[in-house]
Structure 1
Amino acid sequence: MEALAGPLALILPVVAVAAAVHDVATYKIPNWMSAVLLAAFIPAALAAGMEPRAIAIGALLGLLALFAGMGLFAANLLGGGDAKILAAMTPFMGVAALPQFMLFTALTGGLVALIFLLARKGPSWLRARGPGWRRRLMTPGEPLPYGVAICVGALAAYPAGDIGRVAFGG
């Protein structure tokens, strides 16, 4: 199982980049991306040498993140795909990297909001150029692709977690 540790640990970064790009282009994060993470968590955790208790705690943290995400979705503060990818990434963080994950996600979310607020107030001729997905991103009043912040937060915090240390040789 140790031979699979590195490849399994790299699943989160690959899915995170794909999810962020997909969110920017479509304002959606496909369910299969969250499903891949959920399916990979236990094998990746076992390959990384995590104890069963730590794996169970990671799964519980993911469930709690799902409930929090559902609440934010119900309040229209987070998209459904964002809530699901947040919940699917959380177990990979474990207790060690969870505070960093939440902090980096919040900081990146604030930065994304500021960038789009400023860009959307720019000249209309600039906002009207480019492909359809870019024009939608630049349209005032459109939602923000918060999945980008979640994915950046995950990528920034992941090396501090048990599985991430395996992926990044920490």
Structure 2
Amino acid sequence: MLALQIALLMVFPTLAIVGALKDLTSYTIPNWIALALAAAFPAAALASGASLETVGLCLAVGFGALVLGLGMFAAGWIGGGDGKLLAACALWLGWPAVLPFLLYTALAGGALTFAILALRSGWVAPMVAGGPAWMRRLGQSDAGLPYGVAIAVGALSAFPYSALAQGHLV
């Protein structure tokens, strides 16, 4: 049973990393990633022995994050895939792990911004020109920011504090 619990819990970090890599290389996060996270959550919660109260809090946190993500998308701050990934990760993290998740995501977003600005600077740009297409796109001054990377870093950093992971990963 423990092996099944851990296997189901590993869905979360695996899909968060896949979402970050897809965003980094293509500036898109496919809908199937957020949908797979949402679909796998009930099985992981059941296998982890989460109470109905915990599951309800996770659902409420996920819904709140979806509203936040939609608002940030409407404001033009993040992409639609980023907002859906934010909500799906918040669903898995629940309360109170969503608070460090948001903090870590903001910090990772700041670090990502500085890294992209450095990549786009005059002294690094020539080195990027010979790289793969996705790296050249990151180096373009008119390109956006693959915020899914920051969301994944925040999610992975906060995951050990989540209700589902308590007792398995900590």
Normalising by the smaller structure, the TM-score range is over 0.9
Shift of 1:49: 1.3
Partner SS, residue 94 of structure 2: helix
Q: Could you list the per-position Cα deviations for residues 49-97 of structure 1 after superposition, in whole angstroms to 9, with x for gaps in the alignment?
A: 1110110111111111111101110111000000001101111111131
Tell me the amino acid that sits aligned with residue 34 of structure 1.
Answer: A
In 2, the alpha carbon distance for the partners of 1:110 and 1:59 equals 28
Counterpart of 1:79 in structure 2 is 79
Does 2:106 align with 1:106? yes
Partner SS, residue 165 of structure 1: coil
8 Å contact kept, 1:8–1:43: yes
Shift of 1:125: 2.1
Counterpart of 2:30 in structure 1 is 30
Identity of aligned residues (%): 41
Shift of 1:30: 0.6
Alignment gaps of 5+ in structure 2: none
Partner SS, residue 96 of structure 1: coil
* Bigger shift: residues 1-10 or 97-106: 1-10
Residues 99 and 17 of structure 1, relative CA distance in 2, 3 Å threshold: same
In 2, the alpha carbon distance for the partners of 1:21 and 1:84 equals 15
Does 2:68 align with 1:68? yes
In 1, the alpha carbon distance for the partners of 2:105 and 2:58 equals 18
Counterpart of 1:156 in structure 2 is 157
Alignment TM-score, normalising by the size of structure 2: 0.94
8 Å contact kept, 2:54–2:163: no
State the number of aligned residues: 169
8 Å contact kept, 1:158–1:164: yes
In 1, the alpha carbon distance for the partners of 2:167 and 2:3 equals 11
Cα RMSD (Å) of the superposition?
1.4
8 Å contact kept, 1:127–1:139: no
Shift of 1:3: 5.0
